[in-house]
Amino acid sequence: MLRTLIVLLGLGLVVLITGLWVTRAVSIPSERFAGIEGDAVRGERVFTASGCASCHAAPDSDDKTLLGGGKTFKTAFGTFAAPNISPDPEAGIGGWTLAEFASAVMEGTSPEGSHYYPVFPYSSYVRMSDADVADLWAHMQTLPGSDRANTPHEVGFPFNVRESLGGWKLLFLKREWVTEAMTPEVERGRYLVEALGHCGECHTPRNALGGLDRAEWLAGAPNPTGSGRIPSLGPDALDWIASDIAYYLETGFTPDFDTAGGEMVSVIENTSKLPPEDRAAIAAYLKALGE
Ligand code: HEC
Ligand code: HEC
């Protein structure tokens, strides 16, 4: 009951905010990428660290590089389906320009200029570097095409009106880092956690409008897909030493030789493929949260 009330209040606020500022979706001009040539080999590391395949790989295929989409996500705002982002020019995004792709990933804006839903974690990817976006795009061109047609989302009013997301973006789409980084290693870890790995999307609690609560950064959150909580990665909760964290991200084993479960399994599928220095950087970042 209270939850319904909060959601209704939230809903009203979104509509109000939208009414006050009908924000136009931001598209990145093609000139910004004019001199940048993407490198497909480097882009594979960006692709892995960003977990694109965890959502966009076709659920009925073992090939994690076949990005035909179709996986669904139940949220408080409706059920969303991941679209086809394979290089197929008709069913996928093969016909897009690099600037259109960058606008989608970093600004949550479609080539037609409408807003994407934040289940697509662009509010983390907004912090990606232009060079990494170009490399990622180059890598994605090398993946197989899929002709799978997109599954429509099931979203009720007012969220089925994409304009209503303008207010959300105004409040929650922020490029600034959440934390300070005092060393180059922690800075790399911050980039992997706050931008590419979008760890906060699961490990940080959300407010009634579905925005991440930065004051409770990585402090644990209710599991959106069911029962139980996603654990806190904060210094009071995660007392593992840095090498234990890196080992967990490589193998899925905790220091007590439990194995990672739930949605963390697909995250570790990705972090296990990163170079060891990236896992060490993530661990260094998490340890620095306490300082
Ligand atoms: C947590 C799941 C999730 C992750 C991770 C994710 N996406 Fe998505 N993505 C979605 C969903 C859901 C949509 C649909 C959003 C909408 O329709 O508003 C989407 C939409 C898109 C679109 C728009 C496609 C179209 O046809 O308009 C592109 C492009 C895209 N994602 C690329 C990526 C890339 C590249 C990555 C990795 C850097 C990525 N996504 C990671 C869930 C995800
Ligand atoms: C899609 C949701 C999701 C994302 C994204 C995610 N996690 Fe997790 N994480 C979980 C869940 C769920 C668990 C609990 C796993 C279990 O029950 O075994 C977990 C557990 C963990 C643990 C173990 C904590 C403990 O006390 O057992 C660590 C460390 C961790 N995650 C780090 C990360 C890092 C680093 C990232 C970003 C690279 C990340 N997670 C991204 C869902 C996620």
* Ligand of minimum distance to the alpha carbon of 164: 1
| Distance from Cα 159 to the centre of ligand 2, integer Å | 28
| Distance from Cα 178 to the centre of ligand 2, integer Å | 18
Predicted confidence band of residue 4 (pLDDT cuts 50, 70, 90): low
Predicted confidence band of residue 136 (pLDDT cuts 50, 70, 90): very high
Cα separation of 108 and 114, whole Å? 8
* CB-based contact 148:91 (threshold 8 Å): yes
Tell me the mean pLDDT in the region 259-274. 96
Rounded alpha-carbon distances, angstroms, from residue 277 to 108, 120, 188, 219, 235: 30, 27, 9, 25, 21
The number of beta carbons lying within 10 Å of the beta carbon of residue 282 is 27
Above 60 in pLDDT, residue 225?
yes
The sign one gets for the Cα dihedral 47, 50, 52, 54 is positive
The closest residue, in CA terms, to atom 18 on ligand 1 is: 116
Residue 258: its pLDDT value, please?
Answer: 95
Above 80 in pLDDT, residue 239?
yes
The sign one gets for the Cα dihedral 110, 133, 203, 175 is negative
**Mutational test site, ligand 1, from 45, 55, 201, max ligand atoms within 8 Å of CB:** 55
Atom of ligand 2 nearest to the CA of 286: 35
Atom of ligand 2 nearest to the CA of 196: 38
Rounded alpha-carbon distances, angstroms, from residue 265 to 60, 161, 248, 270: 18, 34, 11, 9
* CB-based contact 190:289 (threshold 8 Å): no
More confident residue, 94 or 6: 94
* Ligand of minimum distance to the alpha carbon of 240: 2
Above 60 in pLDDT, residue 277?
yes
Atom of ligand 1 nearest to the CA of 116: 18
Tell me the mean pLDDT in the region 53-78. 93
* Ligand of minimum distance to the alpha carbon of 132: 1
The closest residue, in CA terms, to atom 36 on ligand 1 is: 52
Cα dihedral: 87, 137, 71, 162 (round 10): -100
The pLDDT tens digits for 24-38 are 789 999 999 998 999
Pick the range with the lowest mean pLDDT from 57-66, 77-86, 225-234.
Answer: 225-234
Structural tokens at position 80: 């969303």
Cβ 102 under 6 angstroms from ligand 1: no
Query: Which of 110, 113, 231, 115 lies closest to 172 in space, CA to CA?
Result: 115
The pLDDT tens digits for 103-134 are 999 999 999 999 999 999 999 999 999 999 99
Q: Tell me, what amino acid is at 184?
A: P
Cα separation of 278 and 267, whole Å? 14
The pLDDT tens digits for 165-210 are 998 999 999 999 999 999 999 999 999 999 999 999 999 999 988 8
Per the prediction, the chain carries an average pLDDT of 92
Residue 223: its pLDDT value, please?
Answer: 84
Tell me the mean pLDDT in the region 252-275. 96
* CB-based contact 14:162 (threshold 8 Å): no
Residue 164: its pLDDT value, please?
Answer: 83
* CB-based contact 46:57 (threshold 8 Å): no
Cα separation of 283 and 277, whole Å? 10
Residue 158: its pLDDT value, please?
Answer: 82
| Distance from Cα 282 to the centre of ligand 2, integer Å | 12
